[in-house]
Chain A
Amino acid sequence: MSLEQFQDRNVAEQNYFHVDIPDYPTTGWGKVKRAASRTFKGELFVGLWVVFREMIKFDIHTVQYPKEKLPVGPRYRAVHEMQRLFESGTERCIGCGLCEKICISNCIRMETKLDENSRKLVTDYTINLGRCIFCGYCAEVCPELAIVHGPRYENVSDQRAHFTDFSDMLTPIDAAISGTQKEFDGFGAVTPHEDERVKTTPLAY
C-alpha cells in the first residue's frame, strides 16, 4: 500500500466531498421546523424495527460473562506467568535480573544466590501488582521467555498480596512436563523466520 494519499495533504485535489448537512437554523422559526421534522420523520421506528427483527431471529451475540469469556489475543498483557522448560519442568528463569532492571514502576524484586551446583539460583521473586502498570517490558526483555503475560485479566481482590504469590504465577509442573503449557506469542517472543536471519558461527569440531 502506498502512503501517497496520506502524505498528500492538498485537500482540494483529492476525492473529498462535503456531506449534505443543512446549516444550523439561526432563527427561532427555523429551530421549530427542525424539531418538528426530526420528531415526525419516523427514524425512531427504523431503530425499533431492527431490534425487533433481531429478537425474533434469536441470533444473540451477547457474551454471558463471567460464565463465558472472550478469547484474548496473544499480545494481551494481563497478570504475569512464569514459564517452565518443556519436558524437564525446570523453571526457565535464570535470574539475570533484566526484568527487575527494566521495570519502570519498580515493582519487581528478586534475590539470587550461588546454589550447590554452582548455578545461579533465584531464591525469591516478587512482582508488586499493586504498582505494576502491565507495560510488558519485563516479558519483552526476558531472554528466556520465562516471565510472560498471561490472559488472566481479572485482578480484583481485597488484598494486593494475592497477586504476588510466585507459586500462583508459576506454570504447574505437570503442565510443563505434559507439554500443555502455552507458548507465549506476545512481545519478546521469537519473531517468525528468525532462523533465516541468524549468522552461523564456524565450529572447529
Chain B
Amino acid sequence: MENNITITIDGKEIQTREGEFILNAARANNIFIPAICYLTRCSPTLACRICLVEADGKQVYACNAKAKDGMNITTTTENIETEKRAIMEVYDVNHPLECGVCDQSGECELQNYTLEVGVDSQSYSVPDTHKEAVDWGLIHYDPALCIVCERCTTVCKDMIGDAAIKTVPRGGDALNTDYKAQMPKDAYAMWNKLNKSLIGTADRSDMLDCTDCGECTAVCPVGALVSSDFQYASNAWEQKQVPATCAHCSAGCQISYDVKHTDIENSDEKIYRVKNEWNYVSLCGAGRYGYDFQNADAVKDETAFNAAIAAFKKADTIAFTSSITNEEAFILRRLKEERGYKLINNEAKVFKTFLDDYSKISGQQLYGADLKMVHASDFVVSIGSALKTDNPNARFAFNNSITMNKGAGLYFHPIKDPVIDGLSKNVMSINHAPLQEETALYLMLDLFADKENLPKDITKYLDSFHSKKMITIEETIKEEIIEKVMVKQLNKETGEEEEVEVEKKKMVPKKVSKEVEVDDNALLAQLGAPADFDEKLQKFLKKKEKFSLMVGPDLYTHPNSRNLARLVALVEKYTQFELVMIPALANTLGVSLICDLDEEVGEYTIGYNTKADFTLSALGDGDLDMPALNQQEGTLTSINKRVNPTNVALSYGGYVLNDIANALGLDAKYTIDYTKELGVVKGFSRESFDDLPNHYTNSGEEVRGYLLKRIGIRRSSNESVNELEDIAIQSDIVYLANPVLQFTAFTNASHQLHGEGGLYGSEAFMSKHALNAGDKVNVKTAQGEVRAVMIHDNKIDGEIAYLPTFDVNLNSEALFSGYRFSSASYTKV
C-alpha cells in the first residue's frame, strides 16, 4: 500500500494511494475534515453528511469519495459552511441539556462540533418523543441522547460481526414539510432520515443478544451507549490514561486503563474502565470489562518470600502459564541457565513444537502474515480454532475482510457456531468431526495448491480422493414461447373498443433435468461438507485476490500435530494463502520463543499461576503473591508478531519474580532491565523498555513496540507428509474452550465478568441428554471426571458441549490428554 498519487487539499499537496477515501487521506496528513458517522476500517454510513468537501468543483462526501490523482479539494465553501451549521443545529434539536451529568462528560463529539461550527441559536424544531433508557446488561442505551449516527450499528456489522443492533423506527411526528424548501439540502436529507430512526436490538427483543464486546459504547460519539458499570462512576476528565496491552489473549490489543483515586478516603488508584483507539483497534468484552484482575492488598511478606527462596533452592521444575510478560519468561530462561530448572508449559510447548515442524518446510521461524493482512484479504479460511472465543480479534478480522472487501470465508470447526454462521451468507461452516483438521488441510491443498509444483506423491495422494460420478441435476432454462392474447384496442376508424388477438413473445423458465459427470471429492464427504460445497465455493472464489488462512490451537494439540504443522507449511508454500497462527494465550508466542521448554516434570515443582508444590500466584491464592499483568510493566508478544509494551496501571506492594531471581543470583534492578536482553533471543531486538512506543498515528499506523525480525531457518528438502489416518472420537464429545468474555482465571477475577463455570451446551445437546440448565452433570473422560453445572450457551449449536478453563474450581484440563476434544460420558447427578 504505497502512496502513489498526489491530491491537493486546501492548497496543500499530499501523497496518498489510489482509491483511498478523501477523509482518510486528509486525516493521515493532519488536515481536519469534520466527520461524525465515519469509522475507519468500516463502510461509510453517510448518516451525518458533515464531511462535505468540494472536489474538483463538485460537492462530495469526503468519507465515501475516493481520491484520484491530481484531485483538487476545498474543505470549506460558503455552501458547505451553511450545510454544516444546519446539520449541527439539527443534531441539537431536542437534545437534552444534561451535559452536566452525562457520562460522556465532555468527550462528546456533538458538543465539540456544535462549538466548532459555532451553533448559538436554533432555527428548527420538531416535537420530541418519549424514549425510555434501556439496560442491556453490560451496555446501557439512552435513546434520548442518541444522535443516530449509526456508528454502533456500523461497527457491530462491519467489524464485530454480531449485527446485534440496527436502526429501528423512531415513531413520533414527521418533519414539517416547509423545511424541505427552507433548509439546506443535505441537512434536510440527514434530518429526515434521523427523525425516522433510533437504535434497537436487531431481533426487536428487550435484551441485546450479542457477544458483549461493548465496541458500540466505545464508538458512540455521545453518551447514548455507555458501559452500565461506568455509569455515573466518574467524569472522564478525572481519569488518567495508562497506555497498555490487553493481557487476556494473543491479539495484544492496545488499550488504555483509565485510572483515578479509589474514593475520597482512599487515594490508591483504581481502574474505572478500559478505552481503546476504536478507529484502529476493536476490543472484545473480556478486554473491555475484564480489567480489575489485580492482585490487590499484596504486601512484602518476608516469611513467604524466604519460603519461596527455599522452595526454589529445593525445586528442579518450574511450571507456568503463558499469562506472563516476555521479561518474566526471560527470567525463567536465565534461571534455567543458572540453576538447571526444567520449564514446564504444555500449552506453549505444543505451539513451539508446531512452529518448529512448520519451520522445517517453510524455512521461516514464524508464520508469514498477521491479522492486519487478514483484514485486507478477501478470502479467509479458519481451521482448528473456536474463533470467537480463542481470539476475538481474529474473528473481527475474519468478519471485516468479508464485509469490507466483498470477501468470503470458510470456517472449519467441529462446533457449529451461530455467530460465525451469522457473519455473512458468504461464510461457509464445515462442522467436521474432531480429529479431521488434517483432512481440512489436505482439502486446502487439494483445492488451492499449485499442483505443478506440489511434491508428486502428495499430488498423487490427493488424486486418490477424486472419482467421477454421474448425477442428475435440475437446470432452469429460459424458453421462448408465443402466446396469443386478446387485447382490448380502440378502433381508430370506428372509435369503438374491440377485442383483437395479438401474438406475444414471452420468456418462461422451464425446469429440465439432465445427467452430468462430476468430480466426487472424498475429502469433502469425510469432512461432512454441505452438498453444495463446490457450487458455493465457485461463487465465493469469484474475483478474489488476497487469501488468508488462520489456524488455531486445535491443531497444536492434535495427536498428529507434527504432520499438521508440515501440512500447514505446505499450504502456505504452494497456495496463495497467507498464514496466521493463533497462539492460545496472551503470551504463548513470546514464551515459546524465549523459553526452552521441557516435557518431563521433576520431583519438586514451583508453579507460577498454576498449582504446584509451591505456588506463586498473581491471583492471590498461592504461597507467594505475584503482580498481575495490570500491575507490572513489561512486554507481551502478540499474534501480529509484535512485542508490545504494557505499563503499570495499579500499584503492587508485594514481591515480584525479579526479587526471587535476584535472591538466586541474578542481578537486575527492575524486571524491565531484561527487555534489552531479550535481544539474545532469535527474532527479538535489543531495545530498552523505555524506548518502546505505544500508540497509533492519524493514518492508522501502529507505532507499538517493535516487530519480531524475520528469521530464516534451514529448510529441509523433505516435504513428505503422512497420509490420513483413520482416527475418530467415538461416543459423545466434550471440548475444552471458554465461553464468550472469558479466557483465564484473570478475566474471571474481574468484577464485571466474574461467574461460575460449568458445562456449556447448546439446546440440541441438552435435549439429547435430557438435561436442563442448572442440572449438575458428571462429565467423565478417560482421564478423569468433574462435576459441573449445566449452562445453556446460545452462542454454539450442535451436540458438542465444552468445559471452560477460566474457573479455577473446575479442574477441566485434567479431563483432556492434550487434544481439545475428548470422548466423554455425561450423567446427571
Contact surface of A with B, Cβ cutoff 8 Å:
94-98, 100-101, 109-114, 118-121, 124, 126, 143-144, 199, 201-205
Q: Which of B123, B173, B234 has a CB less than 8 Å from the CB of A204?
A: B173
Task: Identify B100's interface contact among A94, A121, A124, CB under 8 A.
Answer: A94
Q: A109-B264, A114-B232 are in contact. Are A96 and B100 (CB under 8 A)?
A: yes
CA distance A112 to B100 in the complex (A): 13
- Contact yes or no, B173 A95, CB < 8 A: no
Closest to B261 in A: A109
Neighbouring B residues of A126 by C-beta, 8 Å: 264
Check if A120 sits within 8 Å of B235, measured CB to CB. Answer: no
The CA of A57 and the CA of B258, in the complex, are separated in Å by 72
Q: Could you say which residues of chain A place their CB within 8 Å of the CB of B126? A: 204
Chain B contacts of A120 at CB under 8 A?
Answer: 101, 232
A112, A143, A199: the one within 8 Å of B121 (CB): A199
Question: Could you give, for residues 314-332 of chain B, a 1 whenever the CB lies within 8 Å of some chain A CB and a 0 otherwise?
Answer: 0000000000000000000
Q: Which residues of B lie under 8 Å from residue A101 when comparing CB positions?
A: 235, 237-238
Q: How far is the CA of A75 from the CA of B235 in the complex (A)?
A: 29
A143 touches B100 (CB 8 A): yes
What distance in Å separates the Cβ of A124 from its nearest Cβ neighbour in chain B?
A: 5
A204 to B123, CA, bound (A): 11
In this complex, what residue of A is CB-closest to B230?
A114
B125 within 8 A of A: yes
Closest-CB distance, A149 to chain B (whole angstroms): 20
What are 17 pairs between A and B in contact, CB < 8 Å? A95-B232, A96-B101, A97-B235, A98-B100, A100-B235, A100-B238, A112-B232, A112-B234, A114-B232, A118-B133, A121-B232, A199-B121, A202-B122, A202-B123, A202-B124, A204-B127, A204-B173
A124 contacts across to B, CB distance below 8 A? 263-264
Query: Provided the pairs A126-B264, A204-B176 are in contact, do residues A95 and B123 lie with their beta carbons within 8 angstroms?
Result: no
B238 & A111 in contact (Cβ 8 Å cutoff): no
**A94 — which chain B residues lie within 8 A by C-beta?**
100-101
The 3 tightest CB contacts between A and B, nearest first, are A96-B100, A204-B125, A201-B122
Chain A residues within 8 Å of B125, by CB: 201-204
Closest to A204 in B: B125
A171 CA to B67 CA, complexed, in Å: 63
Tell me if B235 and A113 are in contact (CB < 8 A). no
> What is the minimal beta-carbon distance from B296 to any residue of chain A, in angstroms?
19
Instruction: State whether A95 touches B237 (Cβ < 8 A).
Output: no
- Residues of A contacting B481 in the complex (Cβ-Cβ under 8 angstroms): none
Chain B, range 71-129, C-beta contacts under 8 Å to A: 100-101, 105, 120-127
* Chain B residues with CB below 8 A from A114, complex form: 231-232
Contact B100 A113 (CB under 8 A): no
Task: Compute how far the CA of A13 lies from the CA of B329 in the bound complex, rounded to whole angstroms.
Answer: 86
| 10 more A-B residue pairs beyond the given contacts A97-B237, A121-B232, A124-B263, with a C-beta to C-beta distance below 8 A | A100-B235, A100-B238, A101-B238, A110-B264, A112-B233, A113-B233, A199-B120, A201-B125, A202-B123, A204-B176
- Identify the closest chain B residue to A201 (Cβ): B122
Q: Which chain A positions have C-beta within 8 A of B120?
A: 199
For residues 238 through 283 of chain B, which have their beta carbon under 8 Å from a beta carbon of chain A?
238, 261, 263-264
Find A111's partner among B101, B105, B264 (CB 8 Å cutoff).
B264
Asked if residues B264 and A97 are in contact (CB atoms below 8 Å), the reply is no
- Residues on B with C-beta less than 8 A from A143 are 100
| Alpha-carbon gap, A120 to B238, bound state (A) | 17
Alpha-carbon distance between A95 and B173 when the two chains are bound, in angstroms: 34
1/0 per residue, CB under 8 A from A, across B720-738: the answer is 0000000000000000000
A95 to B120, CA, bound (A): 26
Task: Please tell me if the beta carbons of A111 and B100 are within 8 angstroms of each other in the complex.
Answer: no
Q: What 1/0 mask marks residues of chain B from 139 to 174 whose CB sits below 8 Å from any chain A CB? A: 000000000000000000000000000000000010
